[in-house]
Amino acid sequence: MQIVGVMVCNGRIDDERLRRTVAARLLRYRRFRQVIQEDPDGLWWIDDADFAIAAHVRRSLLPPPGGKTGLQNFVAELASMPLNPARPRWEFNVVETADGNSAIVIRIHHVIADGIALIGVIHSLTDGRADAPPQTGLPATEAGAPPTPGRGNANDDTGSGIWRTLFEPLVDLAQASLSLGGNLWGQYQGLRRDPAALRDYTSVVRAVAEEIGRLALMPGDTPTRFKGTACTIKRVAWSQPLPLAEIKAVGQALCCSVNDLLLAAAAGALRSYLVHKGDAVEGAEIRAMVPVNLRRAGDGEELGNHFGLVALELPLGSDNPLVRLYATRARMTALKASYQAMLTFALLGAAGMAPRYIEEQILKLLTSKTTAVMTNVPGSAEARFLAGCRIEQQLAWVPQAGDIGVGVSILSYNGRVQFGLITDRNMVDDPQWIADQFGREFEKLLWLALLETPERLLDPLLVADDVNALSKRHDAHAAR
């Protein structure tokens, strides 16, 4: 359960300056200097008495054949290896690429923080210009440190215990501007003032029970080669970056959000892969768990995990990209108006404090009905510099629990959008094919937005012939 990222930097990075930068800026978060200890009372964060920055920021050799393929193989190898539990669970590996540049492969265990928080943490390591003065020194405290020096519950990084785990999602949900009715919000405020009044709020209990019931009774999605028994070997791939301005313009023309557009393009790429392999796709729909950020505005660097999950069904059955796009938009709109993100957050938090068997059953329930995990994380809008080197490219991959074998990550940086894919070898041994197809699926939507009138775009069936012509042209281009 590690989040893996790559930063490709222009030129050779100075190892000593990088270590000083990481020591000064990353280690202000106490979690990065702590390990997890288990005893009869539970799991606890404790300070690592033997912590050494050199054990976490080090240089590695890029295996042959070098280049992008060598870097992908290196990232996949690291993604397949667990982090050392005897040390704080994170590391930076610096490798030199054949073109004279450097790449930094970052691994951070999900127990430390979620993707939104880590984007903020990594951003704090960087500067807006190459000649920014380096920082030195190790701060004594961490933002959000445990209340007891040297020891904090690993299941509760805020110190507020079961109360936050079960009910604070209501606050997070409201702050995230998701749908939380005024009546329910008033009930929550009353509950905070008088916890004993829980028995009076039957509507809250009913809403929770109904949503959990829907999750429990959720049918399995279409069996495809993307599902199976996971092994310990991963594959990673990434696409050529796409201009964010173009994506926004196409989204505006098609009356869709950037997120809807990118998710639909990902669905098209996955569908094309199944067709390429000769698999049946008629009526196929696969379910992806999509994380929803439940943090308050301004809490981007607060560590811990503060996200819910919504189960998005990706329409793979249609060969019409507009049909897939509009179906994705409608389903995401419905999910945003539901309690699902809030309740999965509370459910997973409660599962973490339940006996191990119950926790395993809840996770099994969620993962058995899911084919992929898909996330869309915004990075810096402008180019950044790390230890004096300009970051040219940023990539990230999300972990997958259980037998989920596909992880899709979409990350924006410096006006470009990067599509990344991590797969289990048993299910997809050649994810680069899917990554390359992602750009082609977006191009289909781009050409439709340019060539069709707004009236025709409202009805995907009106442009079916044009869609088929575009598909044939793209297939011929791919064959060459």
Task: Please indicate, yes or no, if residue 102 is contained in any of the structural domains.
Answer: yes
Task: Please indicate, yes or no, if residue 457 is contained in any of the structural domains.
Answer: no
> What's the CA gap between 11 and 320, in Å, rounded?
43
Q: DSSP state, 480?
A: -
Q: Give the list of residues 6+ apart from residue 441 with CB closer than 8 angstroms, or none.
A: 264, 265, 266, 268, 269, 272, 321
Task: Please indicate, yes or no, if residue 195 is contained in any of the structural domains.
Answer: no
Helix (H, G, I), strand (E, B) or coil at 325: helix
Per-position DSSP letters for 156-185, written without gaps between them? -TTS-HHHHHHHHHHHHHHHTT----HHHH
Quick one: CA dihedral 133, 134, 139, 143, positive or negative? positive
Instruction: Kindly indicate the confidence band of residue 147, based on its pLDDT and cuts at 50, 70 and 90.
Output: very low
> What's the CA gap between 382 and 175, in Å, rounded?
27
Maximum CA extent, the chain: 69
pLDDT tens, residue by residue, 20-29: 999 999 998 9
Residue 94 CA, chain-centre distance (Å), reads 23
Of the ranges 46-60, 193-207, 339-353, 399-413, which is most confident?
46-60
State which residues form the domain around 56.
2-153
- Write down the pLDDT at residue 295: 75
Check which CATH number belongs to the domain holding 45 and give it: 3.30.559.10
Omega cis (within 30) before 65: yes
Closest-CA residue to 300 (of 116, 170, 143): 116
Instruction: Kindly indicate the confidence band of residue 189, based on its pLDDT and cuts at 50, 70 and 90.
Output: very low
Closest-CA residue to 378 (of 87, 7, 13, 123): 123
Task: Please indicate, yes or no, if residue 434 is contained in any of the structural domains.
Answer: no
Q: Give the list of residues 6+ apart from residue 165 with CB closer than 8 angstroms, or none.
A: 155, 156, 346, 349, 350, 352, 353
Mean pLDDT on 345-351: 72
> What's the CA gap between 24 and 27, in Å, rounded?
6
- Write down the pLDDT at residue 204: 54
> What's the CA gap between 106 and 198, in Å, rounded?
44
How many structural domains comprise the chain?
1
Task: Please indicate, yes or no, if residue 285 is contained in any of the structural domains.
Answer: no
Q: Is the pTM of this model over 0.95?
A: no
Closest-CA residue to 32 (of 87, 81, 75): 87
Closest-CA residue to 437 (of 475, 480, 391, 383): 475
Mean pLDDT on 265-287: 93
Quick one: CA dihedral 170, 173, 175, 179, positive or negative? negative
pLDDT tens, residue by residue, 64-88: 777 888 999 999 999 999 999 999 9
> What's the CA gap between 423 and 440, in Å, rounded?
20
Q: Give the list of residues 6+ apart from residue 22 with CB closer than 8 angstroms, or none.
A: 53, 56, 57, 92, 125
Mean pLDDT on 394-415: 88
Task: Please indicate, yes or no, if residue 464 is contained in any of the structural domains.
Answer: no
Helix (H) / strand (E) element for 187: namely helix 182-193
Beta bridge partners of 419: 410
Share of the chain above pLDDT 70, in %: 78
Q: Which of 99-103, 152-156, 310-314 has the lowest mean pLDDT?
A: 152-156
Residues 366-393 as b or e (16 or more Cβ within 10 Å = b): bbebbbbbbbbbebbeeebbbbbbbbbb
Retrieve residue 321's tokens: 């990209």
Task: Please indicate, yes or no, if residue 105 is contained in any of the structural domains.
Answer: yes
Q: Which residue type sits at 422?
A: I
Q: Does residue 173 register a pLDDT over 60? A: no
Any idea what the Cα angle at residue 229 is, between residues 72 and 374, rounded to 5°? 55
Retrieve residue 338's tokens: 């539901």
For 449, other C-beta atoms within 10 Å of its C-beta total 19
Cβ(407)–Cβ(399) below 8 Å: yes
Q: Does residue 139 register a pLDDT over 80? A: no
Strand ranges for 17-118 from DSSP E: 34-39, 42-47, 57-59, 90-96, 102-109
Task: Please indicate, yes or no, if residue 144 is contained in any of the structural domains.
Answer: yes
